[in-house]
Every structure is written in C-alpha cells, then in structure tokens.
A and B are shown apart, each in its own frame.
Chain A
Amino acid sequence: MRKFIVKKLKAKQNKIVPYFMSIALVAVTTFLGSLIKGAIEPTNIVIFYLLIVVMAAVWWGRYPAILTSLLSVLAFDYFLVTPYLTFAVSDIQYVFTFIGLLAVGLVVSALASKTRQQAMDARGREEQTAILYRLSKDLAASDSLEAVLHTIRMNVGGIFDCHVAVFLPVDHKITPGSFDPGFPIDEHENTIAAWVFGNGKPAGWDTDTLPAAKGHYLPLKTSQGVFGVLGVFFKDDKAGLDPGEYNLLSALASQAAVAVQRAKLTEISRQMELIREREKLQTALLNSISHDLRTPLVSITGALSSLLQDFSSIDAETRKELLETAYEESGHLNQLVGNLLDMTRVEAGALKMKTKPCELRDVIGASLHLLKDKLEKRDIQIHIPRVLPEMLLDFTLMMRVFVNLIDNAMKYSAPGTPIEITAKLLENKVKIEVKDRGLGIPEEDLVRIFDKFYRAVKPRQITGTGLGLSICKGIVEAHGGQIFAENNPDKGATLTVILPLKVKEA
C-alpha cells in the first residue's frame, strides 16, 4: 500500500544521476567517434549524437536530454571537427551542423519527455484506479456500517500512512464513529469535523479553513447529501498534500461516502423491517386477544347473567354446571393473561432474568404442583437423577416453561395415557424431555410450533393461544439453552429442553 509514496521519494533521490549518465553517454560516443573519425565523414557521426539525445530524452526526461544535446555539440566540435582540441571551426559548414544538432536535440527532447510524462501519468492513474478498485472491493464485502467504517480506516490509513477517523452524525451531533487510536480526538477537532459536516467543504490542516487543526477533514458527500466526515492525521511533520495525493484522497472520500450512505440506508431499512415485524406481531396479538379473551368472557358473562336473571327457576344441578363453566373459563382467562404478559416481556427483551442456583427437581416439582388440579390422577412418570448439580436458573421463568410443556402434553394426549418427564446429565448440559403418548406433531410443523400464535393441530375443544411454546423458546434461549420437538417412533411427541450446566461461580 505504501508503494505509491515510496516510489515518489526514490524519484527525488535519483534526480542528479541522469545528468551524470548523460555526460557519460556523450563521453562514450565521443570516444567511439574519435576511433572512427578518419574512416567516415564527421557529419555522419552527428547521427550517433542524435541517437543518444533521443535516448536521454526517453530515459531521463527533458533536462538531461537538453544537457546531452549541448554537450554533444561541444564535444563534437572540440574532438571531432578540425582543428581538433579547440572550439574553433575551419569549415563554416559545421556551424550549420552544430545548430542543426542542437535544434534537433531540443525538439526531440521536448517531444520525448512529453511522451514520458504521459506514460508516467498513465501509470499514476492506473495505480490510483487500482487503489480505488481495492477500496471498492473491500467496501462491497463490508456488510455493516461498522465493517464499512473499518474498511475505510484500513484502506486510507494504509495508502497514506496516516491515522484515520470517520465522523458520523448521531442525534444531530457529529461524533467519531470509528477512529484509529492515534487520531487526535478532542473537542476542537470535533468542532472542525462538525463544520465540515455542516458546510460540505474540506477544512483543517493543509486547507484554507482552520489550518491550525491537527487533522485534515473531508466531507463524505454524495448527491444525496453529506453522510459523515473523513479525518486524516499524518504522523510525521508532513508539509502538505501534493495535488496527486489530494486528488486521490478526495476520490477515496467520495467512494467512502457512497459506501457509508449505502450502509446507513441498509441499516434504516433493517430497522424498518423490524418495526414492520413488530407491527405484524401486534396485529396478530390484537387478533388473538380479541378472539381468545372474548371466548371465555362470553361463557362467563352468559353463565352468570343467566344465573342472575333466573336464579330461582334454574334447578340446582344446572346452577352448579353454570357456575363451574364460569369458574373454569375464568381460569383460562387467567392463563391467557399470564401468557400474554410473559410474551410481551419476552418480546420486549424485558425478560429480566434473575438466575439463582436451583435444583431442577424442585423446579419440576413446583411446576407439577401448580398444575395439580388439572393433572388430577394423570399418570406422570418422573425420571430425574437423584444427584444432579445445581443449575443457574430463573426459578419462576423456568417453571413457566415446564408448566407450559406439561400442560401441552396433557392437552394433546388422551387422559388415560402417561406423561414422562426425564432429565439426563450430558457433559456440561442437562437434557430434559417431556414425552406424551398423544397425537404427535405433523412433521412440517415441528419447527413452526415455536412461532408465535402457531398451533399445529387445532381441534376446537383444545383451548390455547399458541403462545405457550414461543414463550418457552424465549425463556429457554434467554438461559442459553435450546428447545425442540420430535415425534416419538411409536406414538406421541417429545419436547426437549437442553440447558447449559453453568458451574456456580465461587
């Protein structure tokens, strides 16, 4: 990456060498010319001088070529034209030869050096294009704003051997979004970055605006506006940027601007997607609430109003039946409200975990106790190892998981069938299975049952919100665990929870 700069330095150091080379070239040509001067006309030797003038022009540029052509005239006159070893000329013809040689030398050198300059420019442009291409390739591979900023810093810092900072607007204030540790971030520099952001013009070091600053600041500008500020800070006492460097930096800045803009837009659209997702959830929640809350309410209102109105005319048995309906339905209502509360907590990420060491056996025992009225005489087979390390769990939340899983197993299997709860100690995890002998789950629904409001089999008599399993998933994942469903080879389904066995911290 630093090649670009290094080459320029080398070019400067080698500035004198071409002149010595030119002198050497003239010397060699003159020496060879003196060897053959008797054999051919001196005027023909001029051809060789013209050749070396062209060579000097092509290799070293204009000024060495001019030097070569002047020296050629002098050497030719002094050594190869009679009288020898003097600048005096016997034949007036040679004066024209001298003038011709000099003129041709000057013209050729001008032309050759122009061609050379063009070639060098082309190489510089090629190099710049390569740098920009590399940046654009790196930027294309950066998938987040964070990565884009990092790429910009790495590329610009590598090319110019400087510290880089990218400033971004946050809540209408410009702040360094990403910066090298060596970049001088302070109030003053920040103010300049803010000015650049506000005005869309470069400022700071090596500019006309606030040149006393430590960093040089360029706006990250696209046709849509200014998206941030690029700050560069050169480590050593660099005098300033030459036009080539300045152009390259500007080109990098505009490419960076496009990338930042794109990353920002992507981020915004991702947020929009989230909001839309949440809105969809809320709509689904509202639909579910309006239906599932109203159903038990209808039964309760119906049963109680009929009792209120016709209490004496209803026989005792029917009265009891109506009251039982109202009581049962109020239980459903309570469960639903509990689930909705849990769901909103899981959703909002407000699931404040209060993990404490617990015994798994106790959590499962308490869950079964909570369900004892529903379970009645149901055959529950529990296999939990007597010696199981204590686990870091949120007792109440984990109880919600088991209550939901056992409740589901009960709902989706016949009253006479057993429900098996098994816990096994794996290497550094505990696997808990809740197995029923019921309907099983359609293969295509095994994953979807953990989605919100999704219920695999919907027989009318089975009540529920389709929230239970998604709540379980939220809670289990908050504990760093996994939950999944499988169908048993013979009958029914097994829901498995795997929880990490966190070693109690000392």
Chain B
Amino acid sequence: MAGPEKMRILIVDDEKTIRRFLKATLVSHGYDVFEAANGAEALKYAVSSHPDVIILDLGLPDMDGIDITRQIRERSKTPIIILSVREDESDKIAALDAGADDYLTKPFHAGEMLARIRAVMRRLLPQSEWSLFTVGNLTIDIAQHRVEVNGCPVHLTPTEYALLKVLVLNAGKIMTHRQILKEIWDKTEDVEEALHLLRVTVSNLRNKIEPDPDRPTYILTEPCVGYRLCTDM
C-alpha cells in the first residue's frame, strides 16, 4: 500500500494513550499520522492536511461525532472510520448514515483496524482494478455477472445478485440497512417490510454461497447496524 508517497491518516481522539497506541501501530505499518484531540482541530486538519483516511472517536468532549462526520462529508470524500464503545449502537448507525465508512468497537485488535483501513482505501480504487472479487472459495466477477463457489457457478435471483454486488463493491466495509435498501430498492426509509425482504434475501443468499449457512463466514451480520462482506478469511 505504502507507495513512494506515504498514506496519510488523521487520528481524532481526546485520549492521549489511545492516540499514542494508534500512532505507534500505524507508523510501524508505513502510514503518516496526524493527531487531533478535539472536534475543532479535527475539522481544521481534515481540510488542511489532506488525509487519506480519518479515524474519528465518537465521544469527543467539544463536539458531537455525528456532526463532525457530517461537516467533513460536506467538504470531502475522505473515508472516515468511527471509534465507539459497545453501548453506542444508535450513534454508530447515525454516524454511518451521516457518511462514515466503517466503525471499530473499542477495545479493538490492531489487526482489525489495519484491515478496515485497507478496506476503505480499496473502495477508492477505480472499479476495473477489482471487478474480480475472491474470498475463501467464493469468486464474484462483476464484469461478467458471474458468481462461483468452489469453481461451480451459482445461480442467483436478480435481487440476490444486486445485494451481493452492493456488498462486493463495498467489500470489507459495513453497509447499514438503510444504505443497502437505498442501493437495491431505492428506498430511503428503512420500513419494516423492506427490512424483512432484506433479511430473507440475505438468508437465501447465504444458503447458496456459504459453506455453512448457520455459521456465515462471507456475509457477516453487524447486529442492528447492517451487513459486511468479509475480505480476508
């Protein structure tokens, strides 16, 4: 990933120890790191230092994390990864719907964070470079409209394919229910009927592509938030 020019990451967290640990991990993986301790600084650096990825803590003392996400989104498309605690479910969904790309629940694994960073950056690449997506025994060729499990083609309904495509195009990144509904059915409200249809579609898709549909490994459920397509097994 780290080419001749290093990737730049902005860390926004009011806890100094967390910034320190994030910085150490990221620097050792070849990223350039900037730090911000509050919302005002975050907004300033988000524009002036042109980061490639922003890691943003939701619980900042001076500003609401969802507001910061929205304000950054107004000005740039820089991927944002949210840091939150387990109890903040609704905040998490709100931040994702406001334009954040992914989230990490504290405490998290350094490896998990690096994987999320790679996933959000991958999304920025031109589509042609990864129209062929492979994870485990699953291969999806977006250009050819083909899905294979263990080399055997799998027949999917148009809705199932549309769902899988949305997940592939955002592979590794969490997709909220609302985002998926908008992409597939162009619904802006997550009405219960549509959610039911989504659950049924996910379940059918799992039956067709998962080695064990009772223990999904490709399409992962993010409780109450949405779904994520796994990128590395």
Residues of A within 8 A of B (CB): 330, 334, 338, 341, 354, 356-359, 361-362, 364-366, 368-369, 380, 382, 384, 386, 390, 395-396, 399
Contact = CB atoms under 8 A, between A and B. Distances in A.
A63 B88 CA distance: 91
Nearest to B85: A341
B224 A341 contact: no
A366 B199 contact: no
B86 A382 contact: no
Nearest to A368: B215
Contact of B203 (A356, A359, A369): A359
A33 B207 CA distance: 118
Interface string B200-233: 0011000100001111110011011000000000
Interface of B: 86-87, 89, 107, 192, 195-196, 199, 202-203, 207, 212-217, 220-221, 223-224
Nearest to B220: A369
Contact of B107 (A334, A361, A369): A334
Question: What are the 7 tightest A-B residue pairs by CB atom distance, in nearest-first order?
Answer: A382-B214, A366-B221, A396-B223, A395-B223, A368-B215, A365-B216, A395-B224
A361 B192 contact: no
A380 B196 CA distance: 28
A368 B195 CA distance: 23
Given A365-B214, A369-B221, A380-B215, 6 more contacts: A356-B195, A369-B215, A369-B220, A382-B214, A395-B223, A396-B224
A361 B207 CA distance: 12
A382 B211 CA distance: 13
A359 B221 CA distance: 11
A399 B223 contact: yes
Contacts, number: 50
Nearest to A505: B192
A338 B214 contact: no
A382 B199 contact: no
A390 B196 contact: yes
A156 B121 CA distance: 80
Contacts of A361: 203, 213-214
Nearest to B192: A357
B196 A369 contact: no
Contact of B221 (A334, A338, A362, A390): A362
Contacts of B196: 357, 390
Contacts of B213: 361
Contacts of B207: 386
The main secondary structure of chain A at its interface with chain B is helix
B191 to A, nearest CB: 12
Given A357-B196, A362-B199, A382 B223 contact: no
Contacts of A358: 199
6 contacts: A338-B86, A357-B195, A366-B220, A386-B207, A390-B196, A390-B199
A362 B192 CA distance: 17
B172 to A, nearest CB: 15
Contacts of A362: 199, 202-203, 221
B223 A366 contact: yes
B152 to A, nearest CB: 21
Contacts of B217: 369
A330 B203 contact: no
Nearest to B212: A382
Nearest to A369: B220
Contact of B214 (A341, A356, A357, A384): A384
Nearest to A399: B223
A359 B227 CA distance: 14
Contacts of A368: 215
Nearest to B214: A382
B89 A396 contact: yes
Contacts of B192: 357
Contacts of B220: 366, 369
A396 B90 CA distance: 12
Contacts of B212: 382
Contacts of B86: 338, 341
Nearest to A327: B109
Given A365-B221, A396-B89, A396-B223, A359 B214 contact: no
B199 A359 contact: yes
